[in-house]
Amino acid sequence: MQITKNKVVSLSYILKRDNAQGEIIEETRAGDPLVFLYGIGQMLPKFEEHLSTLKTGDDFEFTLSSDDAYGEMDQDAIIDLDKSIFMVDGKIDDEMLAIGNVIPMRDDQGHMLQGIVVNVTNESVRMDFNHPMAGNTLHFTGNVIDVREATAEEISHGHAHGAGGHHH
């Protein structure tokens, strides 16, 4: 079956930084594939575009520039926050503020953000709110394991159910 809108797609893939010889960032296997509802905006648009002509059993290989993936690094998304905002019950948890930790936060409009601790001083915490893959070229190789019709429930819920998909 060919990949088209509202099909449930199962993929195994290897994601590498930059090109085919790059560092492996993520890998899925046939026994634990990526399963998603195609064509509803769950995946990067250019990722889906590269899969659009494929069918069950097809192999794929393509590269997405940072502009087609998660964008360039935005220096305005790296900010210094007053260390006192990380206080809980009058104390600061130094383990939470370890360099490289990801901390869920909210912006001034209440939107959830994931910030990475970049630096900590006595007065402030430098946080990077860029997507972790921002500024990276992404190289995918993989295989289309399965393509099937989505159920009406999957379409109404906006995601795949069952093995590899979302479970209620």
Residue 167 has pLDDT above 70, yes or no: no
Q: Is residue 148 part of a domain?
A: yes
113 and 151: one domain?
A: no
Mean pLDDT, rounded, for 95-107? 92
Q: Is residue 83 part of a domain?
A: yes
Q: Is residue 99 part of a domain?
A: yes
pLDDT at 149: 95
Q: Domain with 113 in it: what CATH number?
A: 2.40.10.330
Residue 150 has pLDDT above 80, yes or no: yes
Residue 94 binned pLDDT confidence (cut-offs 50, 70, 90): confident
Residue 168 has pLDDT above 60, yes or no: no
Q: Please write the tens of the pLDDT for every residue from 40-55.
A: 999 999 999 999 999 9
pLDDT at 72: 96
DSSP state string for the chain? -B--TTEEEEEEEEEEESSTTS-EEEEEBTTB-EEEETTSSSS-HHHHHHHTT-BTT-EEEEEE-GGGTT-S--GGGEEEEEGGGGEETTEE-TTTT-TT-EEEEE-TT--EEEEEEEEE-SSEEEEE-S-TTTT--EEEEEEEEEEEEPPHHHHHHTS-BSTTSB--
86 and 116: one domain?
A: yes
Mean pLDDT, rounded, for 104-126? 92
Q: How many structural domains are present in the chain?
A: 2
Residue 120 binned pLDDT confidence (cut-offs 50, 70, 90): very high
21 and 64: one domain?
A: yes
Boundaries of domain holding 90? 75-128
Mean pLDDT, rounded, for 87-111? 90
Q: What pTM was computed for the model?
A: 0.80
